[in-house]
Amino acid sequence: MKTFSGPNPPRIALIGECMIELQQRADGSLQQSFGGDTLNTAVYLSRELGERARVDYVTALGDDSFSDAMCQSWVDEGIGLGMVQRLPGRLPGLYCIQTDAAGERRFLYWRNEAAVRDCFTTAAATPILAALPDYDVLYFSGITLAVLGEEGRKKLIETLVEARQRAAQIVFDNNYRPRLWSSVEQARTAYREVLPYVDLALLTLEDEQALFHFSGAEAVFAAYQQIGTPQVVLKRGAESCLIRCNGEHFEVAAQRVDQVLDTTAAGDSFSAAYLASRLGGGTPAQAAEAGHRLASRVIQVPGALIPRV
């Protein structure tokens, strides 16, 4: 993976959806914040890289007070707003997190009318789509694919093709959520259309098995080798992560955590720290260690985004 050590910091665009997050507490009360897989990664990536990179978020929001607050929170995190559309009369999506005694979470979503579903289909999207191929890194997820819809996915693929021609690096987190798709066949088709353009695949083993029915890690790696993905990271929760990078194999143990409070954004934060390390010249093993370190902190705090230190 290309590293950036010169005077010009890399420009990174993360494409996806941020929602209103409601965290249900033990007493039944709700704490409101904001979250979404690619947004979580954008925040942690910005924190990890600081002034060593420019991190922009690509999405569509409404013109409501929640959307205003989202944008302000992103500015506070050092995330650029130049690729954010504000659609009159629209609203962001909403979700609620319920966690059990073991820290495992259940999500309840209200997102069908969210503004992001028109992110790449409005007239205002034309200059955004034209600008994306000039970024050094484009990052998106399986959830991005789902919420963009069929027309938006076509626009994304066109952008990925041009971005690769301009030497951009494409990063994909599989994040498969069955409820966002009309069928597993629709999801498989969408994933298979974008995977040939991916340079770094950040995968969760359970999601790969649910979507493609792989028998295990070796089957996943064999499939991505056939696709031609140069770097594949297989996240396995509390177990070690497995990495195949340009023919080399790595296994990096996760950090032990005595008490898991909330696993929300564990994978998102791992991905952010991994990518930050690789862009800074870290080896795959060093990047995985950084990912495990950050994820181990995140799962000990409620909600997707832990307080800044």
In a domain, 119, yes or no: yes
Contact 195, 211 (CB under 8 A): no
Q: Catalytic pick from 118, 136, 207, 268? A: 268
Q: What is the average pLDDT across 61-76?
A: 97
- What's the confidence (pLDDT) of residue 277? 98
In a domain, 307, yes or no: no
The C-alpha atoms of residue 119 and residue 70 are separated, in whole angstroms, by: 16
In a domain, 84, yes or no: yes
Q: What is the average pLDDT across 169-188?
A: 97
Q: What CATH number is given to the structural domain containing 219?
A: 3.40.1190.20
Q: Tell me the sheet residues that pair with 187.
A: none
In a domain, 305, yes or no: no
In a domain, 261, yes or no: yes
Q: pLDDT (tens digit, 9 = 90+) per residue, 19-37? A: 998 888 878 888 898 989 9
0.85 exceeded by pTM: yes
What DSSP string runs through 27-84?
TS-EEEEEE-HHHHHHHHHHHHHGGGSEEEEEEEE-SSHHHHHHHHHHHHTTEE-TTE
In total, the chain counts a number of residues equal to 309
In a domain, 54, yes or no: yes
User: Model confidence at 103, in pLDDT bands (50, 70, 90)?
Assistant: low
What DSSP string runs through 101-136?
TTS-EEEEEE-TT-GGGGTTTSTTHHHHHHHGGGSS
Q: What six digits make up the tokens of 147? A: 């919420």
Q: What is the average pLDDT across 298-306?
A: 88
User: Going by C-beta distance under 8 Å and a sequence separation of 6 or more, which residues neighbour residue 283?
Assistant: none
Name residue, tokens 């954008």: 42
Q: What six digits make up the tokens of 23? A: 């965290």
Task: Examine the residue annotation and report whether 136 is marked as an active-site residue of this protein.
Answer: no
Q: Tell me the sheet residues that pair with 206.
A: none
Count of domains for the chain? 1
In a domain, 174, yes or no: yes
Q: What six digits make up the tokens of 119? A: 């992110």
* Domain that includes residue 16, residue range: 11-298
In a domain, 282, yes or no: yes
